[in-house]
Chain A
Amino acid sequence: VSSWLLDPARMRRERTDKVRTEMIRAGVDALVLTSSGNVQYATGVTCVSSDPSHAVAEPTMVIVTADEIRIFASYPEGIPEDVPADHVSGPLLVEFPEGARELVGQLGDLLGRGVVRVGFDDLSGASLAALSSELPSMALVDASLVLAPAKFVKSADEIECIREAQARNEIAMYEVLASLRPGVRQSELTGRFLRRVFELGGITNSVDPVWQVTPPSIKQGPPTLHGDVAFPIPSTDRVLRSDDLILVDTGIVFEGYCSDFGRTWYPSGAPPSPRQRDHFQRWCDVVHRVLEITRPGTSGVEINQAARKGEPDRKPWFEHYYLVHGLGTQGSEMPFIGTDLGEAFEADIILEPGVVMVLEPVIWEDGHGGYRAEEVVAVTDSGYEMLGSFPYSPFYDGPIQW
């Protein structure tokens, strides 16, 4: 860890305490967690990073109660040093009935067979069957009841991790931007990005990098049920052309915390057209209007309205996505603003110091393309702090002074 601001042991301790406080508030006796971001948040255990399709084969799982943490993992590497050795066991292979029975045995041992309430972030088919038959009086609830409120406000340590993740993500993107030209393949950009990310150390890739070639009108793109621009489409070995519009989206993980990088790029290298400048300027205006009111006490509804104020014809974000999402041990977490969850949901979101938001407005003029980028913002005591500083090529050579 390079940062002098960061104390990982303190960060872990504070998070676990917060989780236990939220468990009491939600009336949850134990958590059973296997999603890497949740495991990391509640216990500080780092899971081996892998695609969900094989992550389930060798899961890292933790059980958290009011006074104990039990860890079940294939690898000792990710377990913090302060965890007593007798709290660590091999993995519970809960995809199989045998592993599910072991899980049931552990829970019965920890909690007894009476009426208890346990939060799960995932249940295998085998676990569900074993729990239903062996521990029928156990109430199963979503672990997010505990974790979503715990994660909402970040500590200074957590924000430092996100700052560091974002910085390293941006360092790698400088190299990718330098390689952007007509004739390069999407997969080559991916290779360059990941090589640089891995060389930077201590980090992993959290999402298959997106270099989406986006046609100027929706009907030219892949059909979708939502009717908006199809995004993000997984990358392939597609060759970029000079007149392409590329929507870029990448993310990495540092100390368990995610970054989020978004820009719109043009492989041609030509100066932007007046229309492209207009899209970009309107995108900046949306961000400005949101930042103007970004401070403690502002509600999700106010953020939503501020963004839409100057864009009466079309919501300035993708219909199926959001204007704002949070960022932490998951690449997308609370607060969500601009989703289909509605105004009542957004009215309950009140910004506090330590909330981290990714602003991702989109300006889209169908038939002529548009502009999308992302900015990561931390709410401070009196306003906000930008956590990234990557330039807006080809519009600006340096970062924007918001």
Chain B
Amino acid sequence: MALDGAERADLARLRHERTNRVFEAMDRDEVDVLVLGREGNARYASGLQRLPVAVARPFIPSAVLVREARATHALSGWDFVTAPEISPEQQYPTHWDPAAVAKAIGRIDGVPGARRVALDSVSPQWRERLSSLCKAAGFVDAGPLMRAVRMVKTEDEVFCIRTAVAIAEAGLVAASAILGPGRRERELLGAFVERMSEFGLTVPASEAFALWRLNGSRIMACDVSRVIERCVRATWSPSMAGFCFRVTRAALVAQWDVVRSIGYLIKRSRP
């Protein structure tokens, strides 16, 4: 299949380069400690991969980076794949009691004395906890730092994206192959995800609606949710342009999921 062959992304190098970029940005912005709760940011900086879900999780610090020690610390839990370079000493355990997680983060070298802490997200409760862990610190938004770092891709990242695009396109080809009058949009969605799974991809969370919008007069979606019926009736003006937009967007969404999965997939040797 598409993933066989000699050409592979070097995922250890990919993670190493990404983490280095984050530390360089922390130097530039004089950020002592970076606390990341956004899944994409934590994944980027630490290689952490949580079990993908469609319902957002409550905030928890998923990765904590300390500039001076050049140390990446990551949450360790039950639904995680932690990158191999993150040693057990650099992991802090998950607890249901957030006070216990905060205590473990407070023991990380460099956290208690931090002067400038950047956060990409937080909950009110965790804002209090982090304020009492880093008593001398000023808190700033980590968004600009992480966006700047992630904007330009490394070669390995481009390779992953290229593979992801190929798989997403294969899914779209499978869906378009069954496109015709009388098809339900959900059948297209089914064909789309099933084809991608044949490439070893698992699909974390898919758009339940708004994926394909078909011309109401010629191809009617007849077994869809109330939500879609309302949309078709009230707001959607059927046009090819709209259809293409939706398909393109679906492909983009799929690509990002694929990028994530491929990252995990390629590092495993196929049996």
Contacts and interface: CB of A to CB of B under 8 A. Distances in A.
Contact of A224 (B76, B119, B197): B76
A187 B57 CA distance: 24
Nearest to A36: B55
A50 B205 contact: yes
B53 A52 contact: yes
Nearest to B123: A142
Interface string B94-123: 111100100000000000000000111111
A187 B253 contact: no
Contacts of A224: 76, 78
Instruction: Report, as a range, how many residues of chain A touch the other chain.
Output: 35 or more
A286 interface: no
Contacts of A76: 231, 234-235
B158 to A, nearest CB: 18
A62 B51 CA distance: 27
Nearest to B224: A201
A198 B231 contact: no
Contacts of A56: 38, 40, 121
A293 to B, nearest CB: 23
A113 to B, nearest CB: 19
Task: Indicate the member of B91, B194, B202 with the most A CB atoms within 10 Å.
Answer: B202
B204 A51 contact: yes
A304 interface: no
Interface string A18-62: 000000000000000011110000000010111111111000000
B225 interface: yes
Contact of B230 (A77, A188, A204, A223): A77
Given A120-B124, A144-B58, A185-B200, A232 B230 contact: no
Contacts of B77: 320
Task: Indicate the member of A35, A140, A208 with the most B CB atoms within 10 Å.
Answer: A208
Contacts of A342: 97
Given A48-B210, A340-B96, A234 B194 contact: no
Contacts of A53: 38-40, 43, 256, 260
Per DSSP, chain B at the interface is mixed
Task: Indicate the member of B55, B81, B97, B264 with the most A CB atoms within 10 Å.
Answer: B55
Contacts of B235: 76-77
Given A35-B58, A54-B253, A236 B202 contact: yes
A238 B203 contact: no
Interface in A162-212: 185-188, 190-192, 194-196, 198-210
A234 B124 contact: no
A237 B193 contact: no
A191 B194 contact: yes
A81 interface: yes
B40 A205 contact: no
B53 A331 contact: yes
Contacts of B231: 76-77
B27 interface: no
A55 B208 CA distance: 14
Contact of A35 (B56, B119, B194, B257): B56
Interface string A377-388: 000000000000
Interface string B135-177: 0000111110000000000000000000000000000000000
B127 interface: yes
B6 to A, nearest CB: 18
Interface stretch (B16-24, B65-73, B183-191, B237-245): B183-191
A320 B93 CA distance: 10
Nearest to A318: B78
Instruction: Report, as a range, how many residues of chain B touch the other chain.
Output: 35 or more
B247 interface: no
Contacts of A126: 141, 143
A152 interface: no
Contact of B194 (A195, A210, A321): A195
A8 interface: yes
Interface in B201-245: 201-210, 223-228, 230-231, 234-235
A95 B95 CA distance: 27
A198 B202 contact: no
A11 to B, nearest CB: 13
A128 B227 contact: no
A226 B78 contact: yes
B228 A77 contact: yes
12 contacts: A1-B225, A36-B56, A77-B228, A124-B141, A129-B139, A196-B190, A199-B190, A201-B186, A225-B92, A231-B78, A234-B202, A322-B96
Interface of B: 38-40, 43, 49, 51-59, 76-79, 81, 88, 91-97, 100, 118-125, 127, 139-143, 184, 186-187, 189-191, 193-210, 223-228, 230-231, 234-235, 253, 256-257, 260, 264-265, 268, 270-271
Given A122-B121, A142-B123, A206-B53, 7 more contacts: A1-B226, A51-B204, A55-B56, A77-B231, A191-B203, A199-B190, A253-B208
Sort A-B residue pairs by CB-CB distance and give the 7 closest, nearest first: A191-B197, A237-B200, A204-B208, A125-B141, A195-B190, A53-B40, A339-B96
